[in-house]
Homo-oligomer: A and B are copies of this chain.
């Protein structure tokens, strides 16, 4: 059905780490991934090159790591598998969280589609998860797992919401300018309004009101708070 890319286990691990880090922090840096997987940063770098070649991430030298459309899809799939396995082991077999997680990690790469979908069937029947479109939405422990880990840029944020700056992706002069405005990492930003065409965008940072051009805002990576 799809253009199947056959990733090695370790490349799948990298992708999954990126997915989880973006979900948690809004960005995934080389060192974050290295810490997450407990391997050297230089090894991560090599892995990222391969993911880049496969078109799953896009990354310029020293630039931020972004998932492409297909990368996001692939990562989401792996994430789903992990989650399903985790729930299966932890909830239905009663395996400790630690081991369930660890086992999910080692198995997620290897299990056949059939076994996987039989597990899903079983979990649906026993009401641990609900089927929804082609992905799965978990409703265990009342915690809904949102399946979004795409990078959010400031120009895409709805008026009225509050976000936190993760990174400024531009370089040089523009970056300097934005940072001088107080848009540093960790800065809380509220989107006050947008002009009809979405340009300019009115924001409030550290008490000051600012107006940004849309392409400037598009350089600012944020996360929900």
Chain A residues within 8 Å of B, Cβ to Cβ: 89, 93-96, 99-100, 102-103, 106-107, 110-112, 114-115, 118-119, 122
Cβ A111 vs Cβ B115 within 8 A: no
Cβ B103 vs Cβ A110 within 8 A: yes
Of A103, A114, A119, most B-chain CB atoms within 10 Å? A114
Cβ A118 vs Cβ B93 within 8 A: yes
Q: A100 — nearest CB in chain B belongs to which residue?
A: B115
Taking the closest CB of chain B, its distance from the CB of A125, in whole angstroms, is: 11
Residues of the B chain whose Cβ atoms lie less than 8 Å from the Cβ of A122: 93
CB < 8 Å neighbour of A103 from B99, B100, B111: B111
Copy total for this chain: 2
Residues of the B chain whose Cβ atoms lie less than 8 Å from the Cβ of A112: 95, 99, 102-103
Cα(A71)–Cα(B208), bound, Å = 73
Cβ B106 vs Cβ A93 within 8 A: no
Taking the closest CB of chain B, its distance from the CB of A98, in whole angstroms, is: 9
Residues of the B chain whose Cβ atoms lie less than 8 Å from the Cβ of A102: 112
Cα(A111)–Cα(B88), bound, Å = 14
Residues of the B chain whose Cβ atoms lie less than 8 Å from the Cβ of A103: 110-112, 115
Residues of the B chain whose Cβ atoms lie less than 8 Å from the Cβ of A118: 89, 93-95
Cα(A44)–Cα(B110), bound, Å = 23
CB < 8 Å neighbour of A95 from B96, B99, B114: B114
